[in-house]
Amino acid sequence: MFGSPIKDYLLKICCQIYDLIHLCKPFEFHLLTKTGHRSKLQSISSKSSELQKVSSIIQVLQVIYKNLSQNKITTKRDIFYNNVKLFKSQQFSNKIIDSIAVSFSLDLAEFNIYPNQKGLVFKNSMKEPILVPMKYESLSLGDIELIVIIEKDAVFKSFCHFIRKFGNLSSVLVVTGKGCPDNLTKQFVNYLTTLNVPIWGFMDSDIYGFHIFKSFINSAKFLFKFKGFWLANSESNSLITISLRDFKLMQNFLCHPNQQVDEIELKVWRREIQRGLFLFKKAEMEAIESECAAGNPNIYIFETIYPFLHDEENTYNSGNSRYSSIDSSLTVAEFSSQHSLDTQLGSI
């Protein structure tokens, strides 16, 4: 039916619960946390918080038993909503679930428990975007030459419609985490790195966009490239003044470079963040200027990835779009001079 260690432990718990009910014989739970801390819980206690934990553990073990015995699949979210009154918060139920997995030294997938589904994935062979599958290994992807990660759900859906209607990009896989990605989407992208193809990110030009893209990056960091949007792609009047919190986060990023990002790629990130600090501005993907890719994020993304797929580097570099000439090689001073941003500085 399922692994004997799990089966034996669940049977042991059932016997202890039976003894507790019929013989008033208390027992203890020993759990490990993600940090390796061992906690001991009593089945009978005067503390309501400890009783809640014990009841929650039993509830989760019940779900695990059902999953494994009936070959069912569930999510952390499903478990929480199955007994909201008991768990009270999803953070609490997630902590219990993770502790049980750590205590068994097993992955949650071996309990048929998966992270919540949030992210979307699309390829031209699909009729429409689909949720990242819990068992994404079984997803038939075909030939893939490039993986594109788009920060925002609205831009993702618009671009999927665009390439389905106009673009011949059958070898491109498009993914979104709908803003800050969930664990399942990050695990899926981590799995995709085994394909050893470039992974390009299209995010807002702000510190949050960089942090979101960074959250996808794993040991195969050389595959990940940030491809915009850039501050210089935005209409001057659409640039947003950064907050004090933005400013501190940007400073912190520059002062403490992250080893998670490829060294060459990190220089590109730093350059764009320095521009944002210099201008005290940030830009959103939807605010692309009319002179750049006709003001359409879909065209911007398409014209960025198309030359790579068709080996048209020269066409890309000689294009009329303004983004073809604004790369990370420009210094902040050159960037300001080239794009006549002195007028913006007067309004800061």
Q: Which CATH architecture has domain 120-345?
A: 3-Layer(aba) Sandwich (3.40)
Confidence of residue 244 (pLDDT cuts 50, 70, 90): very high
53 pLDDT higher than 60 = yes
Question: What's the whole-model pTM score?
Answer: 0.72
Q: State the average pLDDT over residues 172-197.
A: 92
**What gap in Å lies between CA 228 and CA 157, rounded to an integer?**
18
Q: Quick check: helix, strand or coil at residue 280?
A: coil
**Per residue in 121-131, pLDDT tens?**
999 888 889 99
- Give the CA dihedral 9, 14, 20, 22, nearest 10 degrees: -150
Confidence of residue 27 (pLDDT cuts 50, 70, 90): low
φ, ψ (nearest 5 deg) of residue 98: -65, -40
Q: Do domains 4-114 and 120-345 have the same CATH topology?
A: no
**What gap in Å lies between CA 323 and CA 319, rounded to an integer?**
9
* 341 vs 63, more confident: 63
Q: Which CATH architecture has domain 4-114?
A: Orthogonal Bundle (1.10)
pLDDT at 213: 92
Q: Quick check: helix, strand or coil at residue 220?
A: coil
**Per residue in 136-166, pLDDT tens?**
888 888 889 999 999 999 999 999 988 888 7
Q: Do residues 146 and 198 make contact, with C-beta atoms less than 8 angstroms apart? A: yes
Element of type H or E holding 121: strand 120-122
* 84 vs 295, more confident: 84
Confidence of residue 37 (pLDDT cuts 50, 70, 90): low
Confidence of residue 337 (pLDDT cuts 50, 70, 90): very low
**What gap in Å lies between CA 26 and CA 175, rounded to an integer?**
50
Q: Do residues 269 and 227 make contact, with C-beta atoms less than 8 angstroms apart? A: no
39 pLDDT higher than 90 = no
Beta bridge partners of 114: 75
Q: What are the domain boundaries of the chain? A: 4-114, 120-345
